Amino acid sequence: MTNVAVGLSKDLPNGRVMRAIVGEQDLVVWRSKSGVLSAWDNRCPHRGMRLSHGFVRGEALACVYHGWHYDKTATCRYIPAHPELEPPETIKAQRFSSTEKGGLIWVSIEEQSTEPSIPDNLKAIRSISFACPMMALKQVIRDLDFTLVKDDNSGWVIQEKSDDQWMMKSIKANISLHLFFQNLSEQTCKIHALANSDCAPDTMKKMSQALEHIRRLAEKHYEVVVS
């Protein structure tokens, strides 16, 4: 599994928090005011509140429940109810390795992880969730026969670069859509989609709409299969 794409860098500005799932691991992914990225077990060491409900306070993440602050090493540094107390170093959330490359946020929950492979200079389109298994989604994409953009009836080719990284390339137009799959559960998954860097806003909208179209097909296909 090594490095898994959990979101687009542009969707997590400085000072913001999000939740991510990798395998069975529930994560809080957050970026400090100065831009430092972290991924931790999504559980406050105090009473177990989800840290993804918390707030960034400068270079710390504050739990929404009792306001305990954790610095970028995930160590508790401040307890509002006991402002004079220096919290023991043992109060720590579990950390995982996180990195950014090619406009994506990557998390690894394994000890060893290989550098993610992704072309440079892609333009982030969007992350989109699907209420169907990843297998069903992939099948629908393989069988697609619509045009990615208007006035380009040449169709496209799909390159399955790896299990979780595909590229859809328009045959005539200079458009490529890079898809990064993220499995969430047996019934749900996500795609993080990026395009070639010279893609204009209008084409980006078309790509976003193409992903909506794929979702309608995939979920419908899956509904038919299960019923």
Helix (H, G, I), strand (E, B) or coil at 128: strand
Closest to another protein by CB, 73 vs 121, is 73
| Contacts for 57 with CB less than 8 Å, ≥ 6 apart | 69
For the CB of residue 220, give the shortest distance to ligand FES in the complex, in Å.
Answer: 42
Whether residue 52 contacts residue 44, with contact meaning beta carbons closer than 8 Å, is answered with no
Closest to another protein by CB, 126 vs 221, is 126
Q: How far is CA 212 from the centre of its chain?
A: 17
Run of H or E residues at 34: none
Whether residue 39 contacts residue 8, with contact meaning beta carbons closer than 8 Å, is answered with no
The contact pattern for ligand FES, residues 42-81, with x = CB under 6 A and - = no contact, is --x-xx-x-------------x-xxxx-------------
| Contacts for 88 with CB less than 8 Å, ≥ 6 apart | none
Under rule CB under 8 A, which residues in 184-223 are in contact with another protein? Answer: 190, 201, 204-205, 208-209, 212
Using CB under 6 A as the criterion, which residues of the chain lie in contact with ligand FES when the complex forms? Answer: 44, 46-47, 49, 63, 65-68
Using CB under 8 A as the criterion, which residues of the chain lie in contact with another protein when the complex forms? Answer: 7-8, 11, 13, 16, 18-20, 52, 55, 57-60, 62, 64, 67, 69, 71-72, 77-78, 80, 83-84, 86, 126-127, 129, 131, 190, 201, 204-205, 208-209, 212
